[in-house]
């Protein structure tokens, strides 16, 4: 956990952004941003940050003592019924005379459209502004406290991948492999690990109990390991029983694209320019029909966060910034016998990438 002064500084920087954008207060409901400002992973969170002054939190009745032990926030208020939470927040906004309020409009847990619509109905006349871009402006660049946690997460992810290598063999189910990996990750301190295992042509697939490793088919393992709430992301593809010609070409092409991405992903170069160079490699090898666009995404409090070139087209024009932590190359080749992928988490620095996961 970071020192109190770091969390205070994050709140103060966010308050500066609120003032610059004429947003009088912000209500934080998403778990990851709640962690970013409070230092505590808490379900059904509610953090209120005014443009000026101290933030305050609402928790369920009798949770206050434990929350105060874990967080630096001093003003903690309780509620017992869900409607009491909404009433308290709306009352605060009215009594303060706020005419604008920020909400993080996301797809993350506890950031529901239902909540946004209810908030707007209870606060008629208040301009509701999406604060996600402002929050991610802060979160995309990691401080040393965050990086310490991510480096540990990377080491844990590598241990999980080592275990995957040991148990992958024909006849073993995807679920068996995932469970073996999760056991290692959680034993090493990961609290919310994410493990995807897919045999054959599926990407980022939840493991099935009745789908098994087969000779000649790619088996892809995606690991997201958290430590002190921060993730590292690592992916490898395996082909038990040996590869045919197309599979070998795919493996070679992905390896070459991986090295090209590492070479080019640095400050000043747009993600779209790097993506174009990766595409050239696949075209030259006659594999472009199998190529799925989107070579990188951010990693931090979420396993996938901005910049997300994999699904958000406007992020293609962004450029890497020192302090960004990225998973790459996310870009897979989807061959008839499965996905070929090699992905590591790296830190962008002025002197080149620092690997948070890697082959040992």
**Choices 3.90.230.10, 1.10.30.50, 3.40.50.12140, 3.30.530.20: CATH for 144-355:** 3.90.230.10
In whole angstroms, give the CA distance from residue 120 to residue 141: 31
What integer pLDDT is reported at residue 116 of this predicted model?
Answer: 75
What integer pLDDT is reported at residue 337 of this predicted model?
Answer: 94
With 90 as the cut, is the pLDDT of residue 43 above it? no
All structural domains of the chain with their residue ranges: 4-139, 144-355
The residue among 66, 62, 40 whose CA lies nearest residue 229 is 40
Burial of residue 282 (CB within 10 Å: 0-12, 13-18, 19+) is: buried
Between the CA of residue 167 and those of 40, 157, 172, 177, 184, what are the distances in Å?
35, 16, 8, 6, 12
Percent of the chain, pLDDT > 90?
83
With 90 as the cut, is the pLDDT of residue 244 above it? yes
pTM of the model: 0.93
Inter-axis angle of helices 245-264 and 271-284, nearest 10: 150
pLDDT, average across residues 208-222: 96
The residue among 190, 253, 265, 260 whose CA lies nearest residue 223 is 190
What integer pLDDT is reported at residue 194 of this predicted model?
Answer: 96
pLDDT in tens, 97-113: 999 999 988 767 666 66
The correct answer on CATH 3.40.350.10 for the domain covering 4-139 is: yes
Burial of residue 257 (CB within 10 Å: 0-12, 13-18, 19+) is: buried
Confidence of residue 305 (pLDDT cuts 50, 70, 90): very high
With 90 as the cut, is the pLDDT of residue 135 above it? yes
Same fold, 4-139 and 144-355: no
When the pLDDT of each residue in the chain is averaged and rounded to a whole number, the result is 93
């Amino acid at each position: 956990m970071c020192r109190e002064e770091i969390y205070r500084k994050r709140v103060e920087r966010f308050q500066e952004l609120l003032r610059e954008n004429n947003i009088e207060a912000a209500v934080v409901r998403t778990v990851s941003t709640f962690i970013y400002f409070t230092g505590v992973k808490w379900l059904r969170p509610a953090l209120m940050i005014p443009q000026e002054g101290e933030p305050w939190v609402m928790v369920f009745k009798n949770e206050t003592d434990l929350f105060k032990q874990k967080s630096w926030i001093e003003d903690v208020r309780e509620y017992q019924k869900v409607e009491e939470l909404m009433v308290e927040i709306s009352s605060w906004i009215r009594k303060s005379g706020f005419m604008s309020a920020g909400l993080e409009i996301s797809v993350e847990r506890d950031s529901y459209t239902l909540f946004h619509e209810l908030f707007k109905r209870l606060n008629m006349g208040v301009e509701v502004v999406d604060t996600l871009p402002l929050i991610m402006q802060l979160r995309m660049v990691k401080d040393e406290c965050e990086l310490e946690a991510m480096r540990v997460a990377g080491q844990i992810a590598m241990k999980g991948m080592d275990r995957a290598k040991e148990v992958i063999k024909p006849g073993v189910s995807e679920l068996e492999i995932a469970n073996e990996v999760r056991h290692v990750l959680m034993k090493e301190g990961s609290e919310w690990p994410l493990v995807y295992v897919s045999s054959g042509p599926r990407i980022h697939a939840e493991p099935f109990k009745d789908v098994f490793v087969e000779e000649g088919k790619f088996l892809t393992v995606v690991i997201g390991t958290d430590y002190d709430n921060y993730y590292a992301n690592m992916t490898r593809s395996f082909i038990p029983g040996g590869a045919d010609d197309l599979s070998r070409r795919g493996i070679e092409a992905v390896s070459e694209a991986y090295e090209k991405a590492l070479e080019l992903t640095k400050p000043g170069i747009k993600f779209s320019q790097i993506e174009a160079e990766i595409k050239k490699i696949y075209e030259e090898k006659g594999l472009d029909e199998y190529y799925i666009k989107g070579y990188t995404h951010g990693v931090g409090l979420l396993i996938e966060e901005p910049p997300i070139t994999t699904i958000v087209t406007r992020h293609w024009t962004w450029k890497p910034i020192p302090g960004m932590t990225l998973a790459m190359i996310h870009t897979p080749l989807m061959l008839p016998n499965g996905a070929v992928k090699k992905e590591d988490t790296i830190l962008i620095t002025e002197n080149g990438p620092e690997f948070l996961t890697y082959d040992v």
